[in-house]
Amino acid sequence: MVTERADTPLRTRFWGSDMTQFTLSAQGRAQFGTDGYLLVPGLFDMEEMDLLRRIGKADHALAAEADSRRDASGGTVKLSLRNELGDDIYSAIVRCERIVNTMEGLLDDEMYHYHHKMNMKEPYTGGAWEWHQDYGYWYNNGCLFPSMASCFIAVDKATKENGCLQVIRGSHLMGRIEHGRTGDQTGADMERVTHALERLELVHCEMEPGDGLFFHANLLHRSDQNRSPDPRWVLICCYNTRGNDPYKVSHHPSYSPLEKWPDSRVLDAGRAQLASLRL
């Protein structure tokens, strides 16, 4: 089963009447608890996404930092991950109130920045991500509880053809599943995934640029290879709760207070960064 996109009902349900600021509703919070994810069309506007796309494509440091990960079929996906925040547009998005306040409303705790990453699937060559839970491996970083979540932001249009995100609705309620190596990736135990797919709904999250998907760290998700002529870049902002501060040091940071920025600073940071690049 595949859930089709329904822009108008989602916008009416989760946005304020003036359409200028996203606020989490009781209905949205309940849906996240039941489904393990919440799709918010138009979380970022076209100017914000145009800035992010132009900056990302011209960011030589982002390209140099990118790590290649092979999927089970030998395809390759590129991932650039950062634990630190600065004054750039990526950091402004991580810090912005529309994301952080929503995360805190969904997980009932103060949030801090765990890391953020740009996932880059290039035309025809972008590899798949195997079925996994983020907490499947974050667990090993000393995080005792799965009180963690991510906001997945479509930089390019995400479709079935270019490898959009797929989720198993309600799978976060299964708890953490055992994970092992799959290609260069960490994948979930496929025996359990197969049976989960027999009982729960598979959802293809086709998204327009600027759409945001908030999802729980135990939600099973994956994506196919990009076999289309269109790129599929996404920015993923990952958060942990203050109460889940890791008990040991790992390659991702322990708790430190996250300074929230007004939503308007996304445009401010993007315009300044674009000007510095002279694009």
- Answer whether residue 7 is part of any domain: no
Q: Summarize pLDDT for 155-199 with one digit per residue, the tens.
A: 999 999 999 999 999 999 999 999 988 767 778 899 999 999 999
DSSP labels, 49-89: HHHHHHHHHH-HHHHHH-EEEE-TTS-EEEEEEES---SSH
Residues of the chain above pLDDT 90, percent: 78
pLDDT band of residue 51 (cuts 50, 70, 90) is very high
Residues 131 and 190 sit within 8 Å (Cβ to Cβ)? yes
The C-alpha atoms of residue 68 and residue 120 are separated, in whole angstroms, by 10
Task: Kindly state the average pLDDT of the residues 98-125.
Answer: 96
The reported pLDDT for the residue numbered 133 is: 96
Task: Kindly state the average pLDDT of the residues 122-141.
Answer: 90
Question: Is residue 179 within a helix (H) or strand (E), and if so which, with residue range?
Answer: strand 179-182
Q: Summarize pLDDT for 7-19 with one digit per residue, the tens.
A: 333 433 344 333 3
The reported pLDDT for the residue numbered 18 is: 38
Q: Structure tokens of 69? A: 């990960």
- Answer whether residue 36 is part of any domain: no
The C-alpha atoms of residue 94 and residue 252 are separated, in whole angstroms, by 15
The reported pLDDT for the residue numbered 7 is: 36
- Answer whether residue 27 is part of any domain: no
Domain that residue 141 falls in? 42-277
The reported pLDDT for the residue numbered 8 is: 33
The reported pLDDT for the residue numbered 186 is: 78
The reported pLDDT for the residue numbered 13 is: 38
Task: Kindly state the average pLDDT of the residues 225-240.
Answer: 96
The reported pLDDT for the residue numbered 109 is: 98
Q: Summarize pLDDT for 234-259 with one digit per residue, the tens.
A: 999 999 999 999 999 999 999 999 99
- Answer whether residue 16 is part of any domain: no
- Answer whether residue 1 is part of any domain: no
Residues 172 and 219 sit within 8 Å (Cβ to Cβ)? yes
Q: Summarize pLDDT for 75-106 with one digit per residue, the tens.
A: 777 889 999 999 999 999 999 999 999 999 99
The CATH number assigned to the domain holding 246 equals 2.60.120.620
The reported pLDDT for the residue numbered 11 is: 38
- Cite the DSSP H helix spans in 25-177: 26-35, 46-58, 60-65, 89-95, 97-107, 134-138
- Answer whether residue 148 is part of any domain: yes
Domain count, the chain: 1
- Cite the DSSP H helix spans in 183-278: 190-199, 265-277
Residue 59: pLDDT over 60 = yes
pTM for the full predicted model: 0.91
- Answer whether residue 145 is part of any domain: yes
The mean of the pLDDT values for the chain is: 90
Q: Which of 123, 149, 122 is nearest to 134 (CA)?
A: 149
Rounded to the nearest angstrom, the gap between the alpha carbon of residue 204 and the centroid of all alpha carbons in its chain is 14
- Answer whether residue 177 is part of any domain: yes
